[in-house]
């Protein structure tokens, strides 16, 4: 977690909590009005705007941000990365992993010709994809 904190330049203490009292969080969320909920919905991206549909870690992060309380976000990020490794999304954070590698291994050689080129999909690409999946061109 110290590496995550250092690489992302999170100026937090490793002893800061990752779980805040439920009473504090619920009290904060119940006092929100519609304008606040719109902001929270925009920040959390996975929420539909209701208290019970937002993940606990997002609720805790937003509560601590608004109330200016300490929060150990590097621990939360690390926990999510570990959980994703155990699932099918094992390489979900390639840029962040590259940042960690660059921090750990100074002067890491990089080959500029070894880059993955991304192109927009066109109708030809979609037709090839449909054929590969066994779908009809329609």
The domain locations on the chain are 2-104
Residue 47: per-residue pLDDT = 45
- Region 103-116: what's the mean pLDDT? 80
Say whether pLDDT at 34 is over 70: no
As a whole number of Å, the end-to-end CA separation of the chain is 49
More confident residue, 44 or 114: 114
Q: H helices of the chain, where?
A: 2-7, 22-30, 34-44, 56-67, 73-86, 94-104, 123-133
> Which burial class, exposed, middle or buried, applies to 72 when counting CB atoms under 10 A from its CB (0-12, 13-18, 19+)?
buried
What is the chain's mean pLDDT, rounded?
Answer: 76
What's the CA gap between 80 and 94, in Å, rounded? 14
**Residue appearing with tokens 């330049």:** 9
pTM > 0.85: yes or no: no
Degrees (nearest 5) of the Cα angle 95, 14, 65?
Answer: 75
Q: What percentage of the chain reaches a pLDDT higher than 90? A: 1
Of residues 87 and 110, which shows the higher confidence score? 110
């Amino acid at each position: 977690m110290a590496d995550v904190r250092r690489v992302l330049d999170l100026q937090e203490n490793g002893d800061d909590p990752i779980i805040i009292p439920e009473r504090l969080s619920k009290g904060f969320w119940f006092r929100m009005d519609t304008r606040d909920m719109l902001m929270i919905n925009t920040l959390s991206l996975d929420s539909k705007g209701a208290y019970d549909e937002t993940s606990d870690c997002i609720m805790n992060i937003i509560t601590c941000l608004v109330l200016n309380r300490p929060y150990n976000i590097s621990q939360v990020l690390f926990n999510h990365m570990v959980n994703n490794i155990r699932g099918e999304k094992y390489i979900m954070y390639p840029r962040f992993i590259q940042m960690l590698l660059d921090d750990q291994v100074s002067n890491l050689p990089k080959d500029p010709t070894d880059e993955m080129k991304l192109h927009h999909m066109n109708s030809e690409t979609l037709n090839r994809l449909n054929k590969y999946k066994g779908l009809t061109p329609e």
